[in-house]
Amino acid sequence: MRRAACRAAILFFAIVSYEACAPRRNENTVGGAAKDHQSRDTFVRAMLGDASYLNPLLASDSASGDVNSLVFNGLVKYDRDLNIVGELAESWRISDGGRTIKFRLKKNVLWHDGKPFTSADVKFTYEKLIDPKTKTPYASDYLLVESLSTPDPSSVVVRYKKPFAPALESWGMGIIPKHVFEGKDINTHPANRSPIGTGPFKFSGWKSDERITLEAFDDCFEGAPGIGRIVFRVVPDQSVQFLELRNDSLDFMSLTPDQHNAYDVFFRRHDKFRYAAFQYAYLGFNLKRRPFDDPRVRRAIAHAIDKSQIIDGVLLGIGRAATGPFPPQSWAHNPDVKDFEYDPAKARAMLESAGWRDSDKDGVLDNIVVENGVRRKQNFEFTVMTNQGNKIRAMAAEIIQSELAAVGIKMNIRIVEWSTFIHQFINKKNFDAVILAWNLGRDPDQYSIWHSAESQEGKYNFVSYNNPEADALIERGRGTFDAVERRRIYRRMHKIIHDDAAYIFLYYPDSLPVVHKRFVGPEVAPAGLGWNFRQWRAAPGKIKYAS
């Protein structure tokens, strides 16, 4: 997944994350090569949509997250085997039954502008996360903190109001520089488009809807990276990305299943990878809009969708049907949840019991609604939205459209450019239904997605899910350290959320990244591909672009 820099799940479609600084080899080396820009290559990768904020506190989309993960560091991160290890923190000590964490910070860490990193930056980041004026979806983890003190420039002491199981992991949040943002509006600060971090790459340029460029930061506290420059190119169509890959204009993209299966002849210059993504795709409903406020209608729709058509016809078998918010690799996954079986006749009967009938025999269900004392007929018609350029989601939408038509529901499809989709429709809850995916943190705490307190504008619970039992389980789960009890809690939560059908969980996909063979270092591990990205480098004699 994205590194621990954002434990909360994010809207995601690249399915690969890159780590920040990895352990130092030698401060005069670059991935084993001399620290010479001419000896390092440029890495060109595709993004389906442009970034929104190059600020880890504000970013809620994958494009922003991919860039931020290379520019900023957290106090901790995941290693290749998903162990939590220090990043900006040299060490830590947990006491008081898990309610207190004392971090010792690494020394001689510099911001990209040469200013020293200190505990004051950590405190400032925390204060901005809990500031109600900050438009962040990540506040919930930090509102549980009772106090954060900085006894000296290298020490941070965090005390919690009550036990919080994912506390340590939450400090993978990217730290922002106090000297840049202090006294300014963090939401509108120019640094959100020209960031200053501590990571292995520093910001170089951003041409909206075209590219974002990063340069190697040779004074990174854990050594200079092996790649000299990264260019994130906005190519909002996977088919076009594939053509650019064939033409050697891209070094990295995430393949669609048909590209992965059918075009091996084109990958003599590339290495393909496949592994289970810590992710699920879903059809989500706006629960504040009729008729999706009726769980009978949502369950009927679930019975009308044949997921096998999506798995076999779109994913080409590269993935599996989803039953809930925890993928099979998660210890929180409940294997006993029985999914809604595909049964159009049952779906029609359930819709009829909810008041939806084809009274005028036009093939579309309808019912009578009363507004301001006036009775009128309402057809069962709605629009599902998804992001531009994602072929899999568009094809899944077409299959669902056909299947819903068979039970009398007219579903329209609208494809929207990513940034517009997020800011004008998702954040403002201006939609009937969406097809999207969540890329998840390894800890199963999904407070930000499912808790009713997180349903305000700009938060992750944009479908407005509200179930008191689920809220209680979420709160108990994040406050419980016992592994057996946490598993029981989250497996119960898995079943409740499935049965409520606020989302129809569609599939758990596999990740299908491809990387140009001139780069040495790509390795799939439990943390995915890219956990050691700082060490990637072009093989001797294979440099294409001098950086």
Annotate 171-186 with three-state secondary structure: CCCCCCCHHHHCCCCC
Average pLDDT over residues 260-288: 87
Per-residue pLDDT reduced to its tens digit, 14-46: 333 333 333 333 333 344 344 555 579 999 999
pLDDT (tens digit per residue) in 455-493: 988 889 999 999 999 999 999 999 999 999 999 999 999
pLDDT surpassing 70 at residue 190:
yes
pLDDT at 268 over 90: no
Pair 23, 447: CB distance under 8 Å: no
pLDDT for the residue 376? 81
Residues 449 and 308: their CA atoms lie apart, in Å, by 26
Reported pTM? 0.86
CA distance linking residue 211 with residue 51, whole number of Å: 9
Band (547; pLDDT cuts 50, 70, 90): low
Q: In this predicted structure, what is the pLDDT of residue 543?
A: 87
**How far, in Å, are 44, 444, 530 from residue 440 at the CA level?**
25, 8, 16
- Structure confidence by residue, pLDDT tens digits, 61-89: 889 999 999 999 999 999 999 999 999 99
Give the type of residue at 354: A
Within 10 Å of residue 317's Cβ, how many Cβ atoms?
11
pLDDT at 28: 34
Q: Residue by residue, what is the 3-state secondary structure of 250-278?
A: CCEEECCHHHHHHCHHHCCCEEECCEECC
Torsion-angle region of residue 14: left (phi > 0), alpha (psi -120 to 50) or beta?
alpha
Q: How confident is the model at residue 544 (pLDDT cuts 50, 70, 90)?
A: confident
> Is residue 221 classed as helix, strand or coil in its secondary structure?
coil
Tell me the C-alpha distance between 77 and 169, whole Å: 8
Residue 10 pLDDT: 36
Q: What pLDDT, on the 0 to 100 scale, is given for residue 4?
A: 35
Q: Which has the minimum average pLDDT: 248-257, 362-371, 520-529, 530-539?
A: 362-371
Tell me the average pLDDT across 522-536: 93
Question: Which residue segments constitute the domains of the chain, with CATH numbers given?
Answer: 10-274+512-538 (3.40.190.10), 279-510 (3.10.105.10)
Element (H, E) at 318: none
Question: Which region among 38-47, 151-160, 165-174, 515-524 has the lowest average model confidence (pLDDT)?
Answer: 38-47
Q: Give residue 264's pLDDT.
A: 67
Question: What is the pLDDT, as a whole number, of residue 18?
Answer: 32
